[in-house]
Homo-oligomer: A and B are copies of this chain.
Amino acid sequence: MTAPLSTLDTPAALLDERKVAANIARMQARMNALGVAFRPHVKTAKCVEVARLQRAAGAQGITVSTLKEAQAFFGAGFDDILYAVSIIGSRLPQVQALREQGCGLKITVDSLEAAQAVAAYGQAHGHSFDVLIEVDTDGHRAGVLPHSAALLEIGQALHTGGAQLAGVMTHAGASYNLYTESELVAFAEQERSGCVTAAQRLREAGLPCAIVSVGSTPTALSAAHLQGVTEVRAGVYVFQDLVMAGVGVCTPEDIALSVLGTVIGHQPDKGWVLIDAGWMALSRDRGTQAQPVDRKYGLVCAEDGTALPEWIVSAANQEHGIVSRVDGAADASLRERFPLGSRLRVLPNHACATGAQFDSYHLVKEDGSVQVWPRFGGW
């Protein structure tokens, strides 16, 4: 299905085909050079076509954030899947059903209680789950500490309880709050060494630990080496966004996702151009607010993607975006420069959040044609 860009109804989520390909190639080349497998997190795009590009470039398996993603991607032929959110008992029947259909679905736990529940459920239902233990290497969310007694207790509970202790995984998500290369390199090493330490302790205790899985886009793009790691996970790198540009692991020019909006009005005295991409299209994500340079609701580009670095979406209502100069100045040529009905693109703060506002992407191909790629949301 193709249609020219100029006939698209707005707001629309555009993907720049060349930039998606470049982001995928860059990450995969790094992983190859570092000698690790790469398991992209498909929660960013939630799009089978994007995951196929990642696989074609060399990715091995995928990571998901919901069992709905696991179900959808397994249905599309992806059978090596890590569900990277701590499992709860009520989800085990669905996990078992997927595994019995042939899906190599792995789950994670970060407490003795959860490990015992998984083992007990498996015993009661004649099934052995593949389980990774989540390790906390940066204090930002879930996981057990690499040196904790809990790590070994969980490992023992799984192993002796009949589950497959498949390995350890960590996500150093606090890397999103860093801004210098030296900090990022050090943080990637902290993530690596913490996860490898956890794996070594399990092995020294006589427990299996084949997988050592780490990752976030900032650390994956910053690690000096990944000795002892077997696989890396990252999600947002595939589109990149203004938060990642603020962290310093990409430039605004690398951002493959943008929101196409139409000019619906002007307030010349205020220097405002109103577009039909409000927060419902851009999302409420203000991830750059805490960074050194706040991009408000996003950077503005011309319809063809050319950056307009003086212009920003400075505020947003549900279906109204307010485009203004970064310096807030009025502009006498506003109506001429951005006529009613003309179009602009907005680069998003956070690709995962902005993509989620849409049920499809419009892939802009190098020849200018546009193809619809469905995406899904929900649970």
Residues on A facing B (Cβ under 8 Å): 9-11, 43, 65-66, 85-90, 110-111, 113-114, 117, 136, 139, 141-142, 173, 262-267, 270, 274, 276, 279-281, 283-286, 317-320, 322, 335, 340-341, 350, 352-353, 356-359, 377-379
A117 closest partner in B (C-beta): B340
A262 contacts across to B, CB distance below 8 A: 88, 90
Question: 9 additional contacts, CB 8 Å, given A86-B274, A113-B335?
Answer: A10-B379, A85-B320, A88-B276, A111-B340, A139-B270, A141-B320, A142-B267, A280-B377, A284-B350
A357 contacts across to B, CB distance below 8 A: 356, 377
**Can you list 22 contacts pairing A with B, beta carbon distance less than 8 Å?**
A43-B319, A65-B280, A85-B264, A85-B320, A87-B264, A88-B264, A89-B341, A111-B265, A117-B340, A139-B270, A141-B317, A141-B320, A142-B264, A142-B320, A279-B353, A280-B356, A280-B377, A284-B284, A286-B286, A357-B377, A359-B377, A359-B378
Bound: A378/B356 CA distance, A: 10
Q: Is the CB of B274 within 8 A of A141?
A: yes
Q: Is the CB of B142 within 8 A of A379?
A: no
Q: Is the CB of B283 within 8 A of A379?
A: no
A379 contacts across to B, CB distance below 8 A: 9-11, 281
Known: A286-B284, A322-B141. A86 touches B358 (CB 8 A): no
A265 contacts across to B, CB distance below 8 A: 86, 110-111, 114, 142
Known: A9-B379, A379-B9. A318 touches B352 (CB 8 A): yes
Instruction: Tell me how far the C-beta of A344 lies from the nearest C-beta in chain B, rounded to whole angstroms.
Output: 13
Q: Is the CB of A43 within 8 A of B141?
A: no
Bound: A280/B357 CA distance, A: 10
